[in-house]
Structure 1
């Protein structure tokens, strides 16, 4: 009886681990290429923004199950582009230089939010000097 119970528990555990791995893999299906070491990471309630200057990678991730999409706007005096992670908590959207090239040796401004605020009143405002 003990060995049968052990096999059932082991099988249940293996199935749970597989389901968790598959869920985690699909939650971040829109990740940038592996191996990126982010130069900058910014957070605000419901949102996380990552920046890698080499290759101009910008990624926004939704970190809260609050019913709002996470977004980031990238500015160079005017809005260069906007990314929105709109598929719920755990999802991300990204762009790179192959899509939108950011100039070097200038300050890049980021507005980001994950709680439904408009672009004029975001929870997060940060900048970085793009020297790569």
Structure 2
């Protein structure tokens, strides 16, 4: 055990980290980011380039899922294994500009109303 880990253990400090995003949104920050109600899924959205990423945020045996839909299209993403992420961009799923995009994301067996979001793809 390293010195920092030993000090943290002695003080009872517990660090919980979300998985790092697998893709850079381009400008260094995401337009939208969300955590599922149970902490098992993280969702990142960058409207420019239609980048949507879901990450498995917990070592709980469940995968993280996201269903993305809009009038005329949609797709699903799954990330399996804590710290793993999967994403889509405009090159695979081109979302029309100015349209409402609905996203449901979850990990485990239950979706909370807090895990259902939408955004307007306006840039």
Structure 2 length normalisation: TM-score? 0.74
1:22-72 deviation per Cα after TM superposition (whole angstroms, max 9, x unaligned) = xxxxx86x8224644200011112011000000000000011111110010
Note closer, same or farther for the CA distance 1:63–1:80 as it changes in structure 2 (3 Å cut).
same
Looking at secondary structure, tell me which structure has more helix per residue.
Answer: 1
Flag as ranges the 4+ runs of structure 1 deviating above 2 A. 33-36
Whole-angstrom distance in 1 between the partners of 2:82 and 2:48: 27
Unmatched 5+ residue regions in structure 2? 3-18
Alignment root-mean-square deviation, CA: 2.2
Unmatched 5+ residue regions in structure 1? 1-11, 14-26
Aligned residues of 1:75 and 1:108 also touching (Cα < 8 A) = yes
Q: How many residues align?
A: 103
Structure 1 length normalisation: TM-score? 0.69
Structure number with bigger Rg: 1
Q: Secondary structure of 1:75's partner?
A: strand
The within-5 A match list for 1:13-92 is: 31-33=22-24, 35=26, 36-44=28-36, 45=38, 46-77=40-71, 80-86=74-80, 88-92=81-85
